[in-house]
Structure 1
Amino acid sequence: MRTAGSGDVGSERGTTGQRPPRHLIVTLYGLHSRAGGGWMSVASLIRLLADLGADESAVRSAVSRLKRRGILEPSTVSGAAGYTLSDEAQHMLRQGDRRIFSPRRATLDEGWLLVVFSVPESVRSKRHMLRTQLTRLGFGTTAPGVWIAPAQVHDEAEDVLARLGLREYADLFRADYLSSVADLPAKARQWWDTERVQTLCSDFLLAHRPSAARWAGDGGSDAEAFVDHTALVTDWRRLVYLDPGLPRELLPSKWSGSEASALFRELHGRLEGPARRHVNRVRSS
């Protein structure tokens, strides 16, 4: 079974499949720690990840990796060892909330945002970081150093450039496509990997339809809701960062993204409450 990033987002209830523990930890912190200041004890992390099928050594290894990346910071609260989200991680999670829980598809009449940049050798280490962040925002490339996205991501692009200290090396343009609109779907396939997103949406539906059917019926325990909800949000979080939010006219004819979005909203609404109860019980025990 492949991970969400390689085209398969599926899992059975009670297991994380091959979702890396670090992805599950980011989901846990994003969903359940920010209201309490962003902190979670190591003991709670280990117990909750055990519910998701990850052993203690894998959890500790994943936490160490997230610490090295500046996402988690060690912190002791009332004598308990734990980790809190860094300021940068808190900022990125807040930005991600809109994309995950309130995604919006652009329309053709809103136009496009072009980012043209040339990063000098003196800060070349940030060049890859910028490309990665633009890709996460849904940018495609029309030519080397020329990136395009729906105009709705302007504020996020400005924020990325500012945080990386690269604003002076980039020019931003609002643009209209002046050639035939009939050419745009073919251009979109060149600039973005829409077929991959379509495949991932289909995989998401296959993975989570069984869960939707179960919870539409008898459902399950709070612990089972926690497992299904964490898998759901982890898969969806990775998927929406690959979907540029292109206008519907530019997407494949058999586009499954709308159905995937509806399934996510339905399951998230059903599972969020009982999943949170389970996490709160574990954290208070």
Structure 2
Amino acid sequence: MAELRTPRSLIVTLYGAYGRPSDDAPFAVAELIRLLHAVGVDAPSVRSCVSRLKRRGLLVAARAADGSAGYALSPDARQLLDDGDRRIYRRPAPRLADGWVLAVFSVPEAERSKRHVLRSRLARLGFGTAAPGVWIAPAGLYEETRHTLERLELAPYVDLFRGHHLGFTPTRESVARWWDLDAVARLHHDFLELHEPVLRDWESTAPPDTAPRPQAAYRDYILALDSWRQLPYADPGLPPELLPDHWPGARSAEVFGRLHDRLRDAGEHFVRG
């Protein structure tokens, strides 16, 4: 399921969208409060969430350009966001011929807590369950899966395989067992219900060559990105021929892409202003 919109989620989205300049300049605390206020988060919630993100090692204290207290991304957090970019902005079109990656794991009973972490992490990467202890995903997720398991020190419990589905049930029927495609489709429909009207409003009220209003562009972009960035993890990115008819994923990706192209850079004027 997609993460509900929360102050923590919006802070992570803000850093993902605008918090990785080439000079690694941190956001001042006052700037974080201003920017989150624009999307409906109050100052106490900002301070509380920033403190929690610092304790988790995702943010580090640093001085802003004006010398005031601020926070920058930790190296681990930057790596996580860089990994996420490949899914959120540059996901390649899946091909059935690419096959699958399988994760087969066994965790000793004495370390059962790692079993839960492993299952939840594979699910968040987009894996479906083919059988107990056997998880499956499109082959294009191999590199990210390997990198993630190594970073979390879970690799010793997992074997990864590449392969093709050879039967006996048709693959299109099998993927409907491995993933809850109805639930994934609902997430796409929820995204479209929230953000397709926003896109229509922008496209009907401002010609493409007209610069959007910076604060409004920032608000609508951050809210759309916060909703969208969950979807490429919930949706494994199956080849089109394996999906149900009238699958909404392509439409939601198009809507986000058009919002990104129209609003992202205009929103940065509000961030840097």
TM-score (normalised: structure 1): 0.87
The number of aligned residues is: 266
Instruction: Tell me which residue corresponds to 2:164.
Output: 176
State the SS of the aligned residue for 2:126.
coil
Provide the residue aligned with 1:236 in structure 2. 228
Q: Tell me the equivalent position of 1:16.
A: none
**Aligned position for 1:197:** 184
8 Å contact from structure 2 (residues 2, 234) kept in 1: no
- Quote how far apart the aligned CAs of 1:166 are: 2.5
Matches of 2:142 and 2:158, distance apart in 1:
13
How far apart in 2 are the matches of 1:244 and 1:195? 13
Q: Distance in 2 between matches of 1:199 and 1:251?
A: 14
Match of 1:80 among 19, 43, 68: 68
In the other structure, the counterpart of 1:155 is: 143
**Correspondence for 1:27:** 13
Question: Matched residue of 1:179: which SS?
Answer: coil
Aligned mates of 2:57, 2:34 — CA distance in 1: 23
Q: Are residues 216 and 209 of structure 1, via their aligned partners in 2, closer, same or farther at CA, if it must alter by over 3 Å?
A: same
| Cα distance change of structure 1 residues 189 and 38 upon mapping to structure 2, 3 Å threshold | farther
C-alpha distance in 2 between matches for 1:251 and 1:235: 22
Unaligned runs of 5+ in 1: 7-18
* Equivalent position SS for 2:205: coil
Aligned to 1:11: none
Q: Which runs of 5 or more residues in structure 2 are unaligned?
A: 207-211
Matched position secondary structure for 1:5:
coil
- Deviation, structure 1 residue 121: 4.7
Q: Any idea what the Cα deviations from partners look like across 1:111-158, whole Å, max 9, x if unmatched? A: 111111112356544333322222222111112221100111111111
- What residue in structure 1 maps to residue 3 of structure 2? 5
Q: 1:258 Cα deviation (Å)?
A: 0.5
* Contact 1:130-1:164 at 8 Å conserved across structures: no
2:240 is aligned, of 227, 248, 254, to 248
Please tell me the residue identity of whatever aligns with 1:101: Y
> Where does residue 49 of structure 2 map in the other structure?
62
Secondary structure of the 2:114 match is: helix
**1:99 equivalent in structure 2:** 87
Amino acid at match of 2:20: R
Partner of residue 12, structure 1: none
Does residue 225 (structure 1) correspond to residue 225 (structure 2)? The answer is no
2:74 and 2:122 mapped to 1: Cα distance?
21
> Distance between the aligned counterparts of 2:54 and 2:134, measured in 1?
33
Query: How far off its partner does 1:227 sit?
Result: 0.3
Q: Cα offset for 1:22?
A: 0.7
Is contact 1:142-1:148 (8 Å) kept? yes
Deviations 1:224-270 (A, max 9, x none): 00000001111110111101001112222120110111111111000
Are 1:144 and 2:142 counterparts?
Answer: no
Which residue identity does 2:94 align to in structure 1?
A
What RMSD, in angstroms, separates the aligned Cα atoms of the two structures?
1.9
Instruction: Letter of the 2:106 partner, please give it.
Output: S
Aligned letter for 1:246? L
On the 8 A contact 1:222/1:277 being kept in 2, the answer is: yes
The sequence identity of aligned pairs, in percent, is 47
Query: Does the 8 Å contact 1:74/1:81 carry over to 2?
Result: yes
Shift of 1:172: 1.1
Amino acid at match of 1:70: G
Q: Counterpart of 2:97 in structure 1: which amino acid? A: D
Pairwise CA distance, 1:275 = 0.2
Would you say the 8 A contact 1:38–1:85 is kept in 2? Answer: no
- The amino acid that maps onto 2:157 is Y
Aligned equivalents of 2:112 and 2:79: distance in 1?
24
Counterpart contact for 2:26–2:63, Cα < 8 Å: no
**Contact 1:105–1:248 (8 Å) recurs in 2:** no
User: CA–CA distance in 1 between the matches of 2:15 and 2:228?
Assistant: 16
CA 1:121 to 1:84, structure 2 compared with 1: closer, same or farther past 3 Å?
Answer: farther
Deviations 1:2-31 (A, max 9, x none): x9536xxxxxxxxxxxx2011110011011
- Give the letter for the 2:227 counterpart: D
